[in-house]
Amino acid sequence: MKTELRWGQRGEWYVVIQFLLFALIFLVPLVGPKLVEWPNPWDTIGIGLGVVLCLTGALLALAGVLNLGQNLTAVPYPKEDAVLVESGVFRLVRHPIYSGIILGSLGWGLLTNSLLALLLTLVLFVFFDIKSRREERWLSEKYRDYTKYQARVRKLIPLIY
Report pLDDT digits (tens) over 109-154: 999 989 899 999 999 999 999 999 999 999 999 999 999 999 999 9
14 domain residue, yes or no: no
Q: What is the CATH number of the domain that holds 69?
A: 1.20.120.1630
- pLDDT for position 77: 94
Whole domain around residue 66: which residue ranges?
Answer: 49-161
More confident call, 133 vs 1: 133
Alpha helices in the chain (DSSP H): 12-31, 42-68, 96-111, 115-142, 146-152
Pair 123, 35: CB distance under 8 Å: no
pLDDT of 9-57, one tens digit each?
889 999 999 999 999 999 999 887 776 778 889 889 999 999 999 999 9
CA distance 8 to 4: 12
96-111 helix and 42-68 helix, angle to the nearest 10 degrees: 160
Which H helix or E strand runs over 109? Answer: helix 96-111
- pLDDT for position 2: 56
Structural domains in the chain (count):
1
Rg for the chain (alpha carbons), in Å?
A: 17
Entry pTM: 0.91
Pair 135, 149: CB distance under 8 Å: no
pLDDT band with cut points at 50, 70 and 90 for residue 6: confident
- pLDDT for position 32: 76
113 domain residue, yes or no: yes
Interval 62-73 mean pLDDT: 97
4 domain residue, yes or no: no
Q: How far is CA 66 from the centre of its chain?
A: 15
- pLDDT for position 116: 92
pLDDT band with cut points at 50, 70 and 90 for residue 1: very low
- pLDDT for position 35: 67
